[in-house]
A and B are shown apart, each in its own frame.
Chain A
Amino acid sequence: MFLDYYNFEPLLAGIHAALCGVMPEWAALTLEGLAVGVAIMLMYAVLAVVLIYMERKVCAAFQCRIGPNRVGGKGGLLQVPADVLKILTKEIISLNRADRFLYNLAPFLVILASILTFSCLPWNKGAEILHMNIGIFFVLAASSIGVLGILLAGWSSNSKYTLIGAVRSGAMIISYEVSIGISVLTMVVLCGAMDIQTIVAGQADGWNIFKGHIPAVAAFVVYLIAGNAEANRGPFDLAEAEQELTAGYHTEYSGMHFGFFYLAEYLNLFITAGIAATLFLGGWMPLHVAGLDGFNAVMDYIPGFVWFLGKTFVIVFLLMWIRWTYPRLRIDQVLTLEWKYLMPTSLVILLLMTVCKVCGLTF
């Protein structure tokens, strides 16, 4: 009942009814699909700009610098839009002996995986875009398409740097998907549901990280580490070990094709954080403390999408903190960390969570 001021469902149903009044239903559905698609693209682009700006500022602060501060007034606010405009004007170079078709396809596969998972995020009550009863499973499956894009990019560029970079990134992402999968499974055990909206709705009386206490916090940490690797970001940014690999799998890309890889990297960061916020911090659910009714009522007045974005950006900050603290790992260290430490840990956490759930030790 409490979140009904900000429920998007009546509004969307109203729009649908109004459209159906002036055109047949298939046309209304097509039009709505197009509008949603455009909205996703716009949100995708705007969030990328925001994230890149945030990354540059946060990274600067961690290195005792100020960051961009000249373009567009005091805070350097127009720096990233200017960079975006620049990259849009650049030429897309076609390579001489590359596999033309796969070379052009690869960035689209990467961005497709990113957009598919992006559409699953629960923005608000009634504002989910892709909604299905195995939502979180779909997210895991769709995010794996990105690996295919990375491997194709490396292979089709016909260069040793891209090939080695792609194989390293691919090995890393596939390995860390195991940890991500198991820590997501831990939360699925706790919620008893795979549907993202049900997972969020189940956290109305307390976020999962409080409900699942010790195993949930541990799973959160494992998820963050593996998520950082999944998004190809430091300390797991092997692809960017420029001394040995120049720029890894996207060395040979230019212009907007490179831009797609870059965009997908930042949005994967956002998606990782968004899924973490959904699974552990209650998605769009406001913070409720049992017994403080006045406080809870005030929290309810903050719209769901503000909660969701706020939590997501807090986790994004955490991920950036990790990224700008640790030096890059070598490929064998990356795989050792996953197979000898992270995966056993996540299995133990899964077991612990199951035992807690069965014995009724969760809240």
Chain B
Amino acid sequence: MNGFCKYMEGYFAGVKSLLTGMRTSMKVFCEKKITEQYPENRHTTLHIPERHRAMLVMPHDEEGNNRCVACGLCQMACPNGTIRLTTETREVEDGKKRKFLVKYEYNLGSCMFCQLCVNACPHDAIRFTNDFENAVFQKEKLVLTLNKK
């Protein structure tokens, strides 16, 4: 008798889980489809998630200042050697010496979008954007200078 009870229990549990599966797939069937019809919808309904990492940028304010302090942590964090900082040491008003950023070079071609540089930055001076249409014909064009001055 115990065996029979077990059989029936398994039977109904199985039917129930099958019906749950059917309900789930019907829900997906009725959902809005997530396919992007890419070149056609490029200027209309294209949706790239905000978190998608496609290019490193350095945000600038209205006067063209960035928040980079030229500490070089991002350069050290980068496993690919994608980031190269050129810095110079200048004396500021109160006589202390400080490093200043001259050129922030970023090689898009060797970047693997791991976000270690962004995580390493103590001042949030760099971030990734979802701007993904970055194909060019010469690989030299992939080396970008991120700072404006």
Inter-subunit contact B25/A321 (CB<8 Å):
yes
Given A61-B29, A62-B29, A69-B37 contact (CB < 8 Å): yes
Chain B interface extent, by class: 10 to 19
Inter-subunit contact B22/A65 (CB<8 Å):
no
Query: Which one, B14, B33, B37, contacts A64 given CB within 8 A?
Result: B33
Residue of B nearest to A65 (CB): B35
Inter-subunit contact B33/A65 (CB<8 Å):
yes
Having A60-B33, A325-B21, A326-B18, one finds 8 other A-B pairs with CB under 8 Å, namely A58-B29, A64-B31, A64-B35, A65-B33, A65-B34, A65-B35, A341-B11, A341-B14
Within 8 A of A (CB), among B7-51: 11, 14, 18, 21-22, 24-26, 28-29, 31, 33-35, 37
- Complex Cα distance, B34 from A66, in Å, reads 8
Inter-subunit contact A321/B33 (CB<8 Å):
no
Chain A interfacial positions (CB closer than 8 Å to B): 58, 60-66, 69, 321-322, 324-326, 341
Query: What are 7 A-B contacts defined by CB distance under 8 Å?
Result: A61-B28, A63-B28, A66-B35, A66-B37, A69-B37, A321-B29, A322-B22
Inter-subunit contact A62/B28 (CB<8 Å):
yes
- CB neighbours of A324 from chain B (8 A): 25
- CB neighbours of A58 from chain B (8 A): 29
- CB neighbours of A61 from chain B (8 A): 28-29, 33
Count the A-B residue pairs with Cβ separation under 8 angstroms: how many? Answer: 35
Minimum C-beta distance from A318 to chain B (A): 10
Query: Which one, A66, A325, A326, A341, contacts B33 given CB within 8 A?
Result: A66
- Complex Cα distance, B30 from A62, in Å, reads 8
- Complex Cα distance, B33 from A324, in Å, reads 16
7 nearest CB pairs, A to B: A325-B25, A66-B35, A325-B21, A61-B29, A65-B35, A64-B34, A66-B33
- CB neighbours of B29 from chain A (8 A): 58, 61-62, 321
- Complex Cα distance, B36 from A66, in Å, reads 9
- CB neighbours of B21 from chain A (8 A): 325-326
Inter-subunit contact B28/A321 (CB<8 Å):
no
- CB neighbours of A326 from chain B (8 A): 18, 21
- Complex Cα distance, B31 from A111, in Å, reads 37
Minimum C-beta distance from A172 to chain B (A): 18
Residue of A nearest to B18 (CB): A326
Minimum C-beta distance from B38 to chain A (A): 12
- Complex Cα distance, B24 from A266, in Å, reads 25
Minimum C-beta distance from B8 to chain A (A): 11
- CB neighbours of A60 from chain B (8 A): 33
- Complex Cα distance, B24 from A326, in Å, reads 11
- CB neighbours of A69 from chain B (8 A): 37
- Complex Cα distance, B25 from A325, in Å, reads 6
Minimum C-beta distance from B15 to chain A (A): 9
Residue of B nearest to A345 (CB): B11
- Complex Cα distance, B29 from A60, in Å, reads 9
